[in-house]
Structure 1
Amino acid sequence: MIKWGMIGCGDVTEVKSGPAFNKVTGSSLVAVMSRSPEKAADYAKRHRVPKWYSNAQELIDDPEVNAVYIATPPLSHESLTIAALKAGKSVYVEKPMSVSAEAGQRMLEAAVQSEGSLTVAHYRREQPIFKKIKSLIETKAIGEVKFVTLDYLQPALTAKELADPKIQWRVDPSIAGGGLFHDIAPHQLDLMIYFFGPVEKATGVSGNQDGLYEADDMVTGVLKFKNNVFFNGTWCFGMPEGQSLDRCVITGSKGSLSFAVFGQPQIELVVNGEKEVFGFEPLQHVQQPMIEATVRYFLKEGANPCKVEEGLEVMKIIEEFSS
């Protein structure tokens, strides 16, 4: 049985992840931690978690806890991951895995040296829609893949949004690593690695066009995968009000696949001018399939659903794009 201790009781844990730990076979959430004792106690009461802490090390040292879920802002991912691994606990760490590739490398080294296991929460890998896309690619439904275009465009944050503490930290490079791009792009870039494998070359440029916060709000990048697939991505967080786009198109020698990474779970397959649409039911807990795979891995009943090396490759790409 995997008995989880969860560090961080923020919004991501309320529905996306937290409840799933008690819904997965062989898994239970036995302790939670927040720096605010009131917040930790409230979360534990509402979600029927037996124990709560206001000190992370005390949770890590709890003998009943044998796996730790780290759901704090990225700045603390490195120190908490390494502390848990040194204690012999397995770790499931939120994305991005760290604030930098250098920090990610230290996490990798700690994982290699420890008895625990480390999985990065790039949870879209295990969702049915993206597993279906991977299957369509592998069965050559669109022939040989040539290139991928990805556009993620959002309106600029309003003054009200920028005053929200839940948003403020996401655009503070010292806490998040690099703003909204660092928050959003890890999911998209990891999917590309999941679909196409190792990257041969990455290059990109970024800048701050609107000056609303310290982090860059415009990023564009190009990848060449070792299998000769090309990728071109654009992220703009300064669009006019009401204008947004979340679209990825994979083009092959016979057709194309189109889908949104964060939007409606639907795939549009076009081959020889004929369109087929695959629809999927929204998941109640978006991380549950990934948690299921992670539990199997921690129980030594399956493979690691997202290796730390893959999480580190995402961090390296992010740095190439936003350098």
Structure 2
Amino acid sequence: MQEIKWGIIGCGDVTEVKSGPAFSKVANSKLVAVMRRDAVKAADYARRHKVEKWYSDASELINDPEVNAIYIATPPLQHEAYAIEALAAGKPVYVEKPMTLNAEAAKRMIEASNQYRVKLTVAHYRRAQPMFLKIRELLNDKIIGNIRFVQLNMLQPLNTNIIANTDEDWRKNPAISGGGLFHDLAPHQLDLMSYFFGATEKSVGFAVKQHTGTPVDDLVSGQILFENGIIFNGTWCFTVSEAQQSDICEIYGSKGKISFPMFKNNVSVTVEGQSKDYIFEPLKHVEQPMIEEVVKYFLNKRPNPCSGEEALITMKLLDAFTQ
């Protein structure tokens, strides 16, 4: 295989800018087919993005002989079935986060990848972005000394605009999303914690529904004890006032603190009373750096940038915090 020729299953709103265009912008990669169950919308997406083919049936796209890799960008409910079908067809899979509905489903996807000996990567794409790579470098260089603990607050009002628009509010349907906005946003944050701090020893959490107008938990609190002794404390609440909204992660060390948001582009480092800020250019296509790494992996030019086994850790944390 000299070039990755992608087919997208689920070319909805989140693929318009975040990921879709990037598949034809990176080296040795091209988007050749898209699929959406609504044929009119699939055809419109293909026309606007200059994609050669479109389908309204996922199996037809998976079995297109020109397509040699699959990107799954549907709601989480469909991730498992589509991934296993693509893997069985010998097509490597790049699947959106959260990997699927729960840890047990994630294990079945990993088993299928191993059974068919076909590659599987999960789109925890912040791993490849310059801002988070810089944070990891600062941690590895012990700029703030030995890490003590992490405090994360993701506090949003009911009508938050921090997420992409969708045709239907599926994120608030637990049968489709796995568990509301927490399951949509927290995978980014929890994966980064594992990426930064390594293996987990223990995790526990609480989840409650405080707002009567939603079927999903809207307040989640979770803790992680990492094997290296670092403790993570996280709070996610999606019913605060506009004035109280917050997106901040603070990593405390023996010499100072690193502070950063998940959805903006600035990092603040304070060491022994002296502060330094790092400002990063916003990315037009936020998944492009990760897609570059996935293409290299599929072409056997680098290791897996986020394996199913790594993503399973995040799925187990989601389950631990909410079950």
TM-score range, shorter chain: over 0.9
Q: Match for 2:74: what amino acid?
A: T
Say which of 132, 135, 138 aligns to 2:134: 132
Instruction: Specify the SS of the correspondent of 2:117.
Output: coil
Q: Provide the residue aligned with 1:184 in structure 2.
A: 185
Compared CA separation, residues 34 and 214, structure 1 to 2 (3 A)? same
Q: Match for 2:42: what amino acid?
A: A
Q: Provide the residue aligned with 1:161 in structure 2.
A: none
The 8 Å contact of residues 123 and 287 in structure 1, kept in 2 or not, is answered as yes
Report matched runs for 1:17-166 at 5 Å: 17-157=19-159, 166=167
Q: Provide the residue aligned with 2:229 in structure 1.
A: 228
Determine what percentage of the aligned residue pairs are the same residue.
58
The 8 Å contact of residues 177 and 183 in structure 2, kept in 1 or not, is answered as yes
The 8 Å contact of residues 68 and 89 in structure 1, kept in 2 or not, is answered as yes
Q: Provide the residue aligned with 2:308 in structure 1.
A: 308
Distance 1:281 1:241 in 2: 26
Q: Match for 2:195: what amino acid?
A: Y
1:128-160 deviation line (CA, Å, top 9, x unaligned): 0000000000010011111000000001239xx
Stretches of 4+ moved more than 3 A in 1?
A: 164-167
Instruction: Specify the SS of the correspondent of 2:169.
Output: helix
Following superposition, the deviation at residue 195 of structure 1 comes to 0.4
The 8 Å contact of residues 89 and 115 in structure 1, kept in 2 or not, is answered as no
Distance 1:141 1:167 in 2: 44
Distance 2:55 2:167 in 1: 22
Compared CA separation, residues 201 and 321, structure 1 to 2 (3 A)? same
2:226 matches 1:213: no
The 8 Å contact of residues 155 and 239 in structure 1, kept in 2 or not, is answered as yes
Distance 2:234 2:98 in 1: 18
Q: Provide the residue aligned with 2:169 in structure 1.
A: 168
The 8 Å contact of residues 90 and 298 in structure 1, kept in 2 or not, is answered as yes
Distance 1:304 1:224 in 2: 26
Following superposition, the deviation at residue 240 of structure 1 comes to 1.6
Q: Match for 2:266: what amino acid?
A: Q
Report matched runs for 1:224-303 at 5 Å: 224-263=225-264, 265-303=265-303
Distance 2:5 2:195 in 1: 28
TM-score, normalised relative to structure 2 = 0.96
The 8 Å contact of residues 202 and 226 in structure 2, kept in 1 or not, is answered as yes
Q: Provide the residue aligned with 2:194 in structure 1.
A: 193
Following superposition, the deviation at residue 211 of structure 1 comes to 1.6
Instruction: Note the residue ranges of structure 2 that are not aligned, 5 or more in a row.
Output: none
TM-score, normalised relative to structure 1 = 0.96
Following superposition, the deviation at residue 167 of structure 1 comes to 5.2
The 8 Å contact of residues 81 and 93 in structure 1, kept in 2 or not, is answered as yes
Following superposition, the deviation at residue 294 of structure 1 comes to 0.3
Instruction: Note the residue ranges of structure 1 that are not aligned, 5 or more in a row.
Output: 159-163
Distance 1:19 1:94 in 2: 15
CA RMSD of aligned residues (A): 1.1
